[in-house]
């Protein structure tokens, strides 16, 4: 049997090379079967466990994108810390933005347990190689946008992330438990801002409605492409990374958010939104997938600005990293001196 260019594809049967290769393949098949049975039994995979390369790769992809989303997600809100309407709102927003930084750090750490260097994942974000959530490429024009982000964006994040607390990869699942608790607080503070505005003056009500009008569809897009277009869903569901499909979680979010909008007298900007009694769910209008694809390809309203800001922040912070390393080195030398 020949491979490309007339080269023999396999050495003669019986050679030690072939026997070892067959042994490797059988071992790998056995490990894969055991891995899949282990995951199917709802047991957690830990960093030192054997895992298929594709499982490791898809987790690195998803967890690093998730970490980048948390970090880039600080920018649109951080922009409003100095302009929050009261000291109380300022303190709350500062704590929230700080929480997002913490989420990014837990997630970069979880990602590192898979054998990648944090610096490399950050470099991928800065070079435009790595994705982050589409939602953070939209501008925050006024204070109501901070309410809409908390209510809708953090609300969507929780809907997507609570199932990730049961992810088959232990370090990711454990990081998600704390993250979801904090996101839940974020969602409530956002809804409370929207409620205050919606029940305030006519102008404030208009601000709240305008923010909902601008953030609704981008929030709906956060759940990713439709199930038919989702490339990773079926394998990642089989491996216990994803528990529900993109469309299932999107539907849950819509069903739970519509009554919240009604309660505070706001209207969801979707003329096709109707209750479907047979399905026990809302039918909703067509999502603008062209817009989604443009934004994730880097051509959203704020993509360039967001990356530029992250790169500048990273460069400005280099002296802090250098100082921390120098301090750690001094401490190590001091410990060695004492021990000697």
Residues that bind ligand 3HC (CB under 6 A): 61-62, 65-66, 69-70, 73, 100, 131, 133-134, 153-154, 157, 160-161, 221-225, 230-233, 236, 242, 246, 296
How many C-beta neighbours within 10 Å does residue 158 have? 19
Nearest to 237 by CA among 32, 33, 30, 36: 36
How near is the Cβ of 293 to ligand 3HC at its closest, in Å?
9
Q: Which is nearer to ligand 3HC, 148 or 153 (CB)?
A: 153
What's the min distance (Å) between Cβ of 154 and ligand 3HC? 5
> Which residues does residue 309 pair with via DSSP β-bridges, in sequence order?
none
Nearer to ligand 3HC, 35 or 292 (CB): 292
Q: Which one, 11 or 163, has the nearer CB to ligand 3HC?
A: 163
User: Do the beta carbons of residue 238 and residue 250 sit within 8 Å?
Assistant: no
Q: Which is nearer to ligand 3HC, 204 or 293 (CB)?
A: 293
**Nearest Cα to 187, choosing from 130, 238, 227, 149?**
149
**Least Å distance between CB 162 and ligand 3HC?**
11
Name the residue nearer to ligand 3HC (CB basis): 30 or 305. Answer: 305
Helix pair angle (303-316, 53-72), 10° resolution: 90
Give whichever of 163 and 204 is closer to ligand 3HC, judged by the CB atom.
Answer: 163
Min separation Cβ 7 and ligand 3HC, Å: 34
In the complex, the smallest distance separating the C-beta of residue 59 from ligand 3HC, rounded to whole angstroms, is 10
Q: Yes or no: say if 98 and 159 are a contact pair by the CB < 8 Å rule.
A: no
Instruction: Report, in Å, the least distance between residue 2 CB and ligand 3HC.
Output: 35
DSSP state of 43: P
Q: How far apart are CA 269 and CA 285, in angstroms?
A: 10
State how far the Cα of 66 lies from the Cα of 68, in Å rounded to an integer. 5
């Amino acid at each position: 049997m020949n491979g490309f260019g007339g080269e023999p594809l396999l050495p003669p049967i019986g050679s030690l090379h072939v026997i070892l290769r067959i042994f490797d393949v059988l071992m790998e098949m056995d490990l894969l079967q055991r891995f899949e049975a282990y995951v199917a039994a709802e047991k957690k995979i830990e960093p030192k466990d054997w895992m298929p390369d594709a499982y490791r790769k898809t987790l690195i992809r998803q967890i690093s994108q998730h970490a980048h989303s948390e970090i880039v997600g600080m920018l649109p809100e951080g922009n409003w810390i100095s302009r929050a309407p009261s000291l109380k709102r300022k303190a709350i927003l500062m704590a929230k933005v700080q929480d997002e930084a913490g989420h990014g750090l837990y997630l970069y750490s979880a990602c590192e347990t898979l054998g990648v260097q944090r610096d490399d994942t950050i470099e991928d974000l800065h070079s435009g190689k790595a994705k982050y959530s589409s939602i953070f490429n939209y501008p925050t024009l006024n204070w109501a946008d901070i309410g809409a982000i908390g209510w809708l964006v953090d609300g969507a994040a929780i809907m997507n992330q609570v199932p990730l607390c049961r992810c088959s990869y232990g370090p990711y699942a454990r990081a998600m438990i704390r993250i979801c608790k904090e996101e839940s607080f974020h969602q409530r503070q956002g809804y409370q801002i929207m409620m205050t505005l919606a029940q305030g003056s006519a102008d404030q009500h208009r601000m709240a409605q305008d923010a909902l009008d601008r953030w609704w569809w981008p929030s709906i897009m956060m759940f990713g492409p439709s199930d038919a277009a989702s490339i990773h869903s079926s394998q990642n569901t089989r491996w216990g990374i994803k528990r529900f499909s993109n469309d299932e979680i999107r539907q849950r979010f819509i069903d739970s958010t519509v009554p919240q909008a009604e309660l505070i007298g706001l209207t969801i900007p979707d003329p096709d939104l109707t209750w479907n009694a047979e399905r026990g769910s809302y039918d909703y209008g067509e999502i603008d997938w062209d817009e989604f694809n443009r934004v994730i390809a880097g051509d959203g309203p704020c993509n360039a600005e967001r990356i530029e800001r992250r790169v500048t922040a990273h460069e400005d912070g280099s002296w802090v990293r250098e100082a921390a390393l120098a301090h750690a080195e001094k401490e190590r030398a001091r410990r060695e001196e004492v021990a000697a």
